[in-house]
Amino acid sequence: MATKSKTKKQTEQEQKINVLFAIFEAVPFMKTGGLGDVGGSMPFELKKAGLNVRVIMPKFDTIPEEYTSRMVHVTDFYVPLGWRNLYCGIEKLMYKGLTFYFVDNEYYFHRGAPYGYFDDGERIAFFAKAVVEAMTHLPRFKCDILHCNDWHTALAPVFLREFYHGDKIWDNVKTVLTVHNLKFQGKYSDYVLGDVLGLKGIKAAEDQLSCGRQTINYLKGGLCYTDAITMVSPTYAEEVTDPFFGEGVEDVLRRRRSIMRGILNGIDYTAYNPEKDKAIKEHFSADDLTGKAECKRLLQAELGLPENPEVPIIAMIGRLTAQKGCDLLTRVFGEIAGLGAQIVILGTGDKKYEDALKGFAYEFGDNFRLLLKFDEALSHRIYAGADMLLMPSVFEPCGLAQMIAMAYGTLPVVRETGGLKDTVRPYNKFTGEGNGFSFAHINAHEMLFTLKDAVALFKEDKEAWRKLQLTAMKEDYSWEKSSLEYRKIYEELLGRG
Ligand code: ADP
């Protein structure tokens, strides 16, 4: 009997689709933004959807010791990259039941930070090539689907087809490229084509990777070579075929529309759960919001703001860049400061916005706190203690912050774009329906008036506010539905199901 059931289990295992999930960031190993959240949650959900998933990412020197000390060396080999032949170690860590592989090369990944180096184009090409090479070195794992994420791994489908074509192991692999933000493409001088990528003279690759004069575009290459493209929200998948959102690759996306789909990212409700979150002192749920009031008081105390429950806190958490609507914010900051709310901004980004906000912090010090840093625990305290989260993004592929805020009963105030449009339903004063507030145009005053209405509702209609909070807290932006959609794409690519 034992043998028989083992055989059945083995057969089941063999029938499962094997997915190698390649990504540059994954919580708790690396996070600089939403990509890290996705890397740390989506693979687990794909596993729950019945897929045999393994994650592969760089072994950064900043990964906490508690994890590096538990990694085991699996294998090592050399990766050809242009004229180079580079060492690549593969370390393995079982984390919460999932296999994570770490690509080890001290020269490229012992830098103190994941990005921002003169040779990023080379480091990232190395990682993509190492991922493809690794497929033949991973014990007991025959990859069916290579799932790439963003420009850091977009070269993998290019390498796969141009260098590894003809070998059964690689020929049977189908590729999916998920674009988390089309803005970041990895553009380099065309010298990389020969020197780094080794693709010079391969006409198809030269054409498909080039963009404009003497420029090579990694993401464009991936978009042209991959078998399926996904954008991280349905609305963004529509928007990107328009030149305003298309970041110069809208023509490629229009041409490849038939293989492109928009699938909303989810959030990890075990990490963002106001009932259990270890980063906050008081806990709460949709059934009892008293803890939230205390979280607000504690946040006001921590930031040295007047401890007044009647004054709403408008928070912003995220990168201080043009994408996130910082031009709108700085354009009418004085008016926002005059709305009778407290403003809390946590983020880092472009110097011009940081400097402008520092000026406002000086001018409006009574009710504005500016926290120019990346601080995960503080972000949780702000999500829990604030009343509103402002996200006036010019474009937003998916956006996680608005979903996280909703989980904590903090109402999002957003511009209707990308994933923000797909997740936030604006308050309807006639029916009381909605889960936040939104405005349509990239217009500072439209944002200001929406904020003004939100502040007024907070102050004047506690019941309506509470209703919105409860609706927001009950929204389900988990990965469940999305991971099934990914599974369907894998099955279609492999001709199964
Ligand atoms: P992005 O475009 O940066 O990926 P998202 O809204 O998708 O934006 O995700 C941003 C993620 O990074 C959220 O989890 C947010 O809480 C977190 N985050 C952004 N900036 C900071 C910061 N300064 N400190 C802590 N967490 C931050």
- Domain span at residue 52 reads 14-266+480-493
Q: Which amino acid is at 287?
A: D
Burial of 11 (0-12, 13-18, 19+ CB in 10 A): exposed
Q: Which amino acid is at 110?
A: H
Which of 227, 228, 255, 225 has its CA nearest to residue 240? 255
Residues 6+ apart with CB under 8 A from 74: 90, 91, 92, 101, 137, 138, 139
State whether 469 and 484 are in the same domain. Answer: no
Measured in angstroms, how far is the CA atom of residue 460 from the centroid of ligand 1?
A: 31
Domain count, the chain: 2
In a domain, 275, yes or no: no
Measured in angstroms, how far is the CA atom of residue 37 from the centroid of ligand 1?
A: 9
**Could you give the CA distance from residue 93 to residue 110 in angstroms, rounded to a whole number?**
18
By DSSP bridging, strand 72-81 and strand 84-95 are: antiparallel
**Could you give the CA distance from residue 107 to residue 268 in angstroms, rounded to a whole number?**
33
- Note the pLDDT of residue 9: 67
Q: Residues of the chain whose pLDDT is less than 70?
A: 1-6, 9-14
Ligand 1 binding pocket mutation candidate from 379, 404, 423 (most atoms within 8 A of CB)? 379
- Note the pLDDT of residue 15: 84
Nearest-atom number in ligand 1 for the CA of 346 is 23
Question: Do 203 and 214 form a contact (C-beta atoms < 8 A)?
Answer: no
The DSSP symbol for 180 reads S
State whether 258 and 378 are in the same domain. Answer: no
Cα distances (angstroms) measured from residue 385 to each of 209, 343, 379, 474: 46, 12, 10, 18
State whether 466 and 488 are in the same domain. Answer: no
Residue minimizing CA distance to atom 27 of ligand 1: 318
Ordered alpha helix ranges (H), 155-266 = 155-163, 168-171, 191-195, 203-209, 218-225, 234-239, 243-246, 250-255
State whether 222 and 312 are in the same domain. Answer: no
Nearest-atom number in ligand 1 for the CA of 33 is 12
- Note the pLDDT of residue 213: 87
State whether 365 and 234 are in the same domain. Answer: no
Measured in angstroms, how far is the CA atom of residue 152 from the centroid of ligand 1?
A: 19
Determine the 3-state secondary structure of 411 from DSSP. Answer: strand
Burial of 320 (0-12, 13-18, 19+ CB in 10 A): buried
Which of 32, 29, 26 has its CA nearest to residue 319? 32
Radius of gyration of the chain (CA): 24
> Beta-carbon neighbour count of residue 402 at 10 Å?
28
In a domain, 7, yes or no: no
> What's the helix, strand, coil split of the chain in %, to 5?
45, 20, 35
State whether 32 and 170 are in the same domain. Answer: yes
41 — phi, psi (to 5°)? -125, -45
In a domain, 442, yes or no: yes
Nearest-atom number in ligand 1 for the CA of 419 is 7
In a domain, 281, yes or no: no
State whether 136 and 248 are in the same domain. Answer: yes
Measured in angstroms, how far is the CA atom of residue 246 from the centroid of ligand 1?
A: 22
- Note the pLDDT of residue 142: 94
Measured in angstroms, how far is the CA atom of residue 244 from the centroid of ligand 1?
A: 24
State whether 114 and 238 are in the same domain. Answer: yes
CA 472 from chain centre, in angstroms, equals 21
6 — phi, psi (to 5°)? -65, -40
In a domain, 277, yes or no: no
State whether 189 and 307 are in the same domain. Answer: no
pTM summary value: 0.93
List the 174-179 sheet strands across, edge first.
72-81, 84-95, 98-104, 52-58, 18-22, 145-149, 174-179, 228-231, 260-262
Residue minimizing CA distance to atom 16 of ligand 1: 401
Measured in angstroms, how far is the CA atom of residue 400 from the centroid of ligand 1?
A: 7
Nearest-atom number in ligand 1 for the CA of 37 is 14
In a domain, 374, yes or no: yes
Question: Do 54 and 138 form a contact (C-beta atoms < 8 A)?
Answer: yes
* Residue bearing tokens 């946040």: 299
> Beta-carbon neighbour count of residue 3 at 10 Å?
7
Which of 482, 42, 2 has its CA nearest to residue 262? 482
In a domain, 259, yes or no: yes
Tokens of 424: 């936030």
- CATH assignment of the domain containing 225: 3.40.50.2000
The DSSP symbol for 259 reads G
Binding pocket residue ranges, ligand 1, CB within 6 Å: 33-35, 37, 181, 317-319, 346-348, 374-376, 379, 398-401, 404
By DSSP bridging, strand 187-189 and strand 215-217 are: antiparallel
State whether 457 and 488 are in the same domain. Answer: no
Tokens of 83: 């004229």
State whether 66 and 176 are in the same domain. Answer: yes
In a domain, 283, yes or no: no
Measured in angstroms, how far is the CA atom of residue 382 from the centroid of ligand 1?
A: 12
State whether 446 and 396 are in the same domain. Answer: yes
Measured in angstroms, how far is the CA atom of residue 317 from the centroid of ligand 1?
A: 6
